[in-house]
A and B are shown apart, each in its own frame.
Chain A
């Protein structure tokens, strides 16, 4: 069955430190992976998707099919990165998305 695991509920780092939010998925087919972000008092919104291979707000994520992972990385965290981050699994054969339980990122000054 499809499943998304985000092992960290809370991740605290200092400003300027590297950050990596982990995401592992279970799916034997060709996945579509997404990262959504929810800043305080704002709507949940798409941050990036693996197929676009973009860097958004300094964040990147590489799909590793061998490790079934889609970790979100940023070399130098900023205070404005503090938010709730959700990893989501989709695919062409899916009718819906599978969301992870989320990781709250706290960037300390």
Chain B
């Protein structure tokens, strides 16, 4: 599988701690996305970035932060302000910004906060 990687696969944190999820791609894609996947709720967009050094809030950005300092990398920080952080997080990338390009997804990170 290559292309887009996420690490770690499983992550455990105590409540009140910030945690950063890694997402790297070697597809030379301009756009990158972070989704949260919960049972019965589908994919909900957290943040997206169309180009380096720029990003926009998605539908559920509260309690999360991102950076896009390099084209290949789009880390997501889950802060202590996120009220229900336990979830499966998916990163994706696409060749260009906008809703016409296929999205390539990573394997996901399952975060458990207790």
Contacts and interface: CB of A to CB of B under 8 A. Distances in A.
B25 to A, nearest CB: 13
Contacts of A46: 102-103
Q: Is the interface of A mostly helix, strand, loop or mixed?
A: loop
Interface residues of B, number: 26
Interface residues of A, number: 25
A43 interface: yes
B110 to A, nearest CB: 12
A43 B99 contact: no
Contacts of A9: 40
A91 B99 contact: yes
A86 B44 CA distance: 12
Contacts of B45: 96-97, 99
Interface of A: 6, 9, 32, 34, 36, 43-46, 49, 86, 89-102
